[in-house]
Structure 1
Amino acid sequence: MYAHAGFQKQRGLLACVVGISPPSANSPFEWRWELLSLAFSVGCMISIVAILFTFQDRPQSEWRGGSLSITGTLAIFSTSANMAAALAVGACISQYKWLHFRKAPHQLSDLDLLEEASRGPLGSLTLLTKRPRGLASIGAVVTLLALGFDVFVQQTVSFEPRDVAMDDGNATLGLAHAYDSGATRIGALGTILNVAPSTMDLAMQGAVFRGLYNLGSPAVFNCTTSKCQWNSTYYSLGYTSSCADVTEATIRLHPNASATWNSSSPGRREVDMNLTTPGGIRLAAPFSHTSWQTVVSVNATSLSKENGVSVNADGVRLMSPDIVRIGVFRVPVDIINFAITPANMTIFECDIALAAYKYSNLSSSGQNLTVGKLDTIRLDPGLLTDGENTTAAAHITFNQTGLPLMTVSASDIAGLQLLFTTSRFSGRIYEGLSGIPDQGTGDAFRSGDIAQTMHAMADSMTNQLRSTYNVAVRGLSFVPVVFIDVEWAWITLPLVVQLISITFTVIIIIQSARTAGLPLWKSSTMALLTYDVQFRDDEDDVGRLGSGIRSPKELEALAKSWKARLELPGQT
């Protein structure tokens, strides 16, 4: 004897009208929508990977998606891939509930549990936390993992600004292969090394004083971006200084050292001390006991006029690159005795000469130019050629192996010699009640390293020469460009979600095909309405789910041919 729950009478009538067809075998075609959705999901994932591979480490500007950015495009593909995979997984979880009850008796509440799990993350979480159920737990896990699908896909892409080197003409480096400011000579003098004072190069004279007083130099490069670079090797004409401490040698050359510097010796209180360096520079350093003293004495002599011009065996006139020799005398101030003794004096000789500079690996950052390697090359004597007329400047040509041809105006060299040997540069400064006016640039040598001060002056003169840009070379300017950076680790979760979804779907398809007579109801609500539970007294209250509908076609026919109305308890 049977006890019934459900619509047994109606189902019997249905069997008479429609007929009960034999169970049909499942075919992959009946899973076509799930398989198509998985294929679509895989296609979207392939598109995502292809986009990432294509635009990895490429400028963002190369993306040609119109108003849709690369992240927006990835979001569309990832959302589509996630939703398509979720469709297949949800159908498989729903189908599994029929497999679940086919294998063994289970609580009827599992129907609701599995059906809720097929509808989204909340039901899947409930399934995993309350009563995990076989293969359905795999579907629930992948449903929960899919929550991070879109986020992880978008995390694969980041945008990193990088400096890109471009030869756009916005990076130029100033060099000098010639020095000719237009200075002329006084023809009446009849000499090559002379200059008309009104035509002297005032900019170069200013560079001398800027270097001495650390007043900066003109720009020798142009870079319109924050960083530029010049990777080749470059040569430029410039100036160099070489200094030596000649204090002891100068003291030994003094004719009456002991009498002059003995402060207790009788005679005049004022001492006109005159020193001569080994290089022939005369340095006067007078002082008066207890009254005043010389602090710094500077003097210079022209080298080219004395020994710079020579004639070789072929009768060709050559000129040395040496320009001037400068002597500097310095003593600290003795505010009590104002006496000068050998123990406290310092004497330097420095030669200023033309030279070639070899620059390598230059770069700029802001207003600063960094030279990776700098070599100073001494020039051999150059060919001296006269001007076209008595006032035109003569020129010195340096044609040295390994260097570009370099030329210098002899009148410009004469102008520098004139500057260094006059009171605008040479002279003395005093301390105390001397009443003698200071002259020259002695203040620049009061303190600090004398050789370093001379080196700074030569650098300033070189920079002034280079700032004329009579040779300009192009470099690379670095422009900030936003690049697409791909972090592949983030793609792991989306790939795992797809792999599990495919595996889970295939397993459910195979198990459904192997279960004889099991219709592919999946998540059909109509299928649930056609089932009832039958109980037998001899089966320990284990009911049997049964349906007179054997195929989806019969279920479809039922849905189209019958109508229903909801009746609540107590209503007729």
Structure 2
Amino acid sequence: MSSPRANIPNEASHISAPPPCVQKDVESDFTIPMKILPTDTNTNTNANPILNISEEASDKENISPPPPPPPPSNGKHLNVNISKRGNAWDWEVGAIAISFIALLALVVLLIYADGRPLREWSGTLSLNTVVSALGSVSRTSLGFAVSSCLAQDKWNYFRRRPGNLATFDSFDEASRGPWGCFWLIIKLRARHWVVLGALSSILLIGFEPFLQAVISFPGQMDPSIEATKSQIGRSDLLDVGSYVENAGGALTRVRLAPSDESVAFTSFDSLPDPGMRSSFYDGIYNSSFSTKKTASFSCPNGNCTWPIYTSLAICSACTDISSHIQRYAQRGDNLQSLRNPEIDIKDSNFTIVSLPRLNLTNLSNGAANMSKIGKSTVDAYMATTIITDPHFTLNFQNLTTMITTVQMLKAAPGFEAEELKWEDTPVTATECSLYFCVQAFDSEVINGVLTDRIVSTWARRDFATYTAADNSAGHPSLNSKDMYEAYDKWNNYSLYPAYGDVSRTDLELFITNEDVKLSALPQDVTRRFRLTQNTVGTTTRFVNEQLLSKKMTWPAGVGDDTGISSTAQALYQSHNLSTTFANVGSTVTNWMRDISNETQTGMGEEWVTHIAVKWTYLTLPALTILLGLAFSLWSIQETHSLDLDPWKTDMIAVLTHSVDDDTRAQLKVAASNGYLQQAVGGMTVSLEDNGSGLELRRKLE
């Protein structure tokens, strides 16, 4: 029986070895030699070179069947994607949605948390942890989608246009991370929309650091839980001291010159409030202390604020009146300001420094009898006087709430040091006034220390008040209310009862609506204030009769009241009279506020850590999400429009649809000869259908 092989024609005898050939790369300057497979001269001529079936493999069960032939191409490509990323865009679309939702949730969370106290965050996880988690979800989801789309774009790019084969590798590298994305941008010269995806992949590096910088935790003073316990005194009504009519006292009649009319006054017994007395003394004697006394307050947390409020107060004002000084010489007896009954100075030369209502006079240094008298026993370095009628002041004629005005003449220190002659000594003149007023305060306590800032000051008197009371007009020896009103006007509305007094209504001070507006005060601020006759009478008499006197000198004269001498010394030793009188005013004002039953409720504060969102740092994460979202959606849409399967990062697809056989053969030769990089750089390919599927085919010119 003949062998089956005997019937197979010997085709090997008809196959001749092809001649060596050389193929030139049309896109490069080098030639790629084609390897020729050698002919096997030992091949059995009876063997079939196509089937190549050996005799030892006669067992048909061990022979693998050949693959089925490819179906004819009809323009549709079967999906061969076996990647774990799937053969559709479901994972990428889901990742994009998750990334966007995570970022949106992060923005909503930041809006909610911005400005809130950190203690209000009661979550199990810290705010930073939640923000970091949401940022990580958004970043990783976006990175997954962008990398898939970058991998897919290597197919889309070459399907739409021919390109350098090295670009295919650049796309693949870009899908693996930011470094490849950077070189893809360079490769494409930033002229392709795929650059958006590469840029978003690079920006993902800064996603987390910028998110960490979004949140900060500054501290600030916030209202405390015990805010209602914050109190500070203010005074709307002041009724202190005892000012009572002396029933057995004599009447005093005052003629209202130049008319012939007169009014009668009775004497009043005045007993000032001890607290008021001590506050005046404290203000004058302690004016040089650096630490000033403040009003009493209640602030449990040590940090409190109050809305601007108004209160009765004692105000002061000082002006320099040296321009009114006159200096002249006069000869006479005992003209010196410092009185000493034991010294009788006759027919001597004096130099007088004068104001309209005050003189400071000393012996001229050229006096013949100076050596006999002794200079230190007769020289006065300061002289003062008080004025209770505003009309006779130099700068306070319109001050109708005045308690007193002090005028002072003070010699330069060189005179006391015997460095100057009296007639050559500079002398300064000052006029200071104390008066009832209303002040607006802006108070705050910081670390237990109260600071009062005076916002505005007013001294508006309601002239329909502090007039003779009805019971006074009914007194048989006194005049009618109209006569006392005429007297008040004649007396320039002075509050000091120089000639006696009459029972009066309360003195009222007020501020206007315009004052409230100009000073930006709260609309509910108190606008009217009252001082009883007890307060006005005892205060004005104490200040002008016990604290001060009609004439004071320093050194004090022989026989002067000790208390008044102490006041004179304090005024002389003051380095700044404005500060001294301001200290008197603030000390008495604080006392008035402390004894009042009225308080201003404030707001206690405590140091609270807040959550602050720095929205600027959210710009990079938001820009990254927007770029990645736009790129991914565009890439998915382009894949559909090109009718391509989503091969993405699938290496099986790369092996299946890589370069054609001729190009592969050339690349193998280039690789074996060490110039693969040059060969790849010189090849232009495009993704085309070869009739049995898509492959990267070389484009020849």
* Equivalent position of 1:371 in the other structure: 454
1:460 alignment partner, one of 587, 590, 613: 587
User: Paired residue for 1:204, among 272, 279, 292?
Assistant: 279
Between 1:18-27 and 1:88-97, the stretch displaced more is 18-27
Determine if contact 2:361/2:380 at 8 Å carries over to the other structure: no
1:140 to 1:440, Cα distance in 2 relative to 1, 3 A: closer
Q: Which residue of 2 aligns with 1:118?
A: 175
CA gap 1:42/1:399 in 2 versus in 1, 3 angstroms: same
Kept after mapping to 1: 8 A contact 2:148/2:649: yes
1:507, distance to aligned residue in structure 2 (A): 3.3
Change (3 A) 1:49 1:268: same
1:17-416 maps to which residues of 2 (within 5 A)? 23-24=77-78, 30-56=88-114, 58-61=115-118, 64=121, 66-100=123-157, 102=159, 113-129=170-186, 137-162=195-220, 168-169=227-228, 172-179=231-238, 192-195=268-271, 201=276, 203-210=278-285, 212-213=287-288, 217-220=292-295, 222=297, 228-232=305-309, 234-238=310-314, 240=316, 257-260=330-333, 268=346, 289-290=370-371, 291=374, 292=376, 293-296=378-381, 323=403, 326=406, 328-332=408-412, 333=415, 352-353=434-435, 355-359=436-440, 367-378=450-461, 382=466, 397-399=506-508, 403-407=528-532, 408-409=534-535, 410-411=537-538, 414-416=541-543
Q: Compared with structure 1, are the counterparts of its residues 454 and 535 closer, same or farther at alpha carbon in structure 2 (3 Å cutoff)?
A: closer
**SS of match in other structure, 1:441:** helix
Relative to structure 1, the CA distance from residue 60 to residue 400 in structure 2 (aligned partners, 3 Å threshold; closer, same or farther) is closer
What is the RMSD of the two structures over their aligned residues, measured on CA atoms? 5.7
- Secondary structure, in 3 states, of the residue corresponding to 1:147? helix
The change in CA–CA distance for 1:511 and 1:226 in structure 2 (over 3 A counts) is: same
Relative to structure 1, the CA distance from residue 363 to residue 512 in structure 2 (aligned partners, 3 Å threshold; closer, same or farther) is same
Query: TM-score, normalising length from structure 2?
Result: 0.56
Amino acid of the structure 2 residue aligned with 1:228: T
1:565 match? none
Aligned residue type for 1:34: E
Change (3 A) 1:506 1:452: closer
Pick the structure with more strand per residue. 1
Q: Is the 8 A contact 1:164 1:481 kept in 2?
A: yes
With 133-142 and 178-187 compared, the bigger mean Cα shift is at 178-187
Shift of 1:42: 1.4
Question: Contact 1:270–1:289 (CA<8 Å) still a contact in 2?
Answer: no
From the superposition, tell whether residues 526 and 463 of structure 1 become closer, same or farther in structure 2 (CA, over 3 Å). Answer: same
Structure 2 CA distance for aligned equivalents of residues 68 and 496 of structure 1? 27
Question: Which structure 1 residue ranges, 5 or more long, are not aligned?
Answer: 305-319, 387-393, 552-572
Q: Secondary structure at the match of 1:30?
A: coil
Distance (whole Å) between structure 1 residues aligned to residue 406 and residue 123 of structure 2 = 70
Q: 1:371 to 1:130 in 2, by over 3 A?
A: same
Post-superposition Cα deviations, 1:453-488, rounded to whole Å, max 9, x if no partner, equal 445434433333334354322345665555544444
Q: Partners of 2:35 and 2:690 in 1: how far apart?
A: 15
1:70 CA drift (Å) = 3.5
Question: SS where residue 494 of structure 1 aligns?
Answer: helix
Q: What is residue 505 of structure 1 aligned with on the other side?
A: 632
Partners of 1:123 and 1:16 lie apart in 2 by: 40
**Separation (CA, whole Å) in 1 of partners of 2:388 and 2:144:** 95
Counterpart in the other structure of 1:521: 647
Separation of aligned partners in 1, 2:283 and 2:652:
101
Give the structure with higher Rg (CA): 2
CA deviation digits over 1:128-186, x for unaligned, max 9? Answer: 45677966554333211221223334444444545557892465443234445667989
1:211·1:459 contact (CA, 8 Å) conserved in 2?
Answer: no
Decide whether aligned partners of structure 1 residues 116 and 483 sit closer, same or farther in structure 2, where only a CA change above 3 A counts: same
Distance apart, 1:540 and its partner CA: 7.8
Provide the C-alpha distance between the structure 2 equivalents of 1:376 and 1:229, rounded to a whole number of angstroms: 23
Query: 1:37: Cα distance to partner?
Result: 0.8
Which one is further off, 83-92 or 377-386? 377-386
SS of 2:379's equivalent?
strand
Q: What is the deviation of 1:36?
A: 0.9
Structure 1 residue 428 and structure 2 residue 554: aligned?
A: yes
The answer (yes or no) to whether the contact 2:381–2:416 under 8 Å persists in 1 is no
How far apart, CA to CA, are the structure 2 residues paired with 1:300 and 1:330? 12
Offset at residue 429 of structure 1 (A): 1.0
Equivalent residue number for residue 568 of structure 2: 442
Equivalent AA in structure 1 for residue 531 of structure 2: M
CA distance in 2, matches of 1:204, 1:367: 19
Q: Report the secondary structure of 2:307's partner residue.
A: strand
Distance 1:242 1:370 in 2: 20
Superposed displacement of residue 334, structure 1: 6.0
Give the conservation status (yes or no) of the 8 Å contact 2:223–2:606.
Answer: yes
- For the residues of structure 1 that align with 2:688 and 2:231, how far apart are their CA atoms? 88
1:362 Cα deviation (Å)? 6.0
Query: Which of 145-154 and 330-339 deviates more?
Result: 330-339
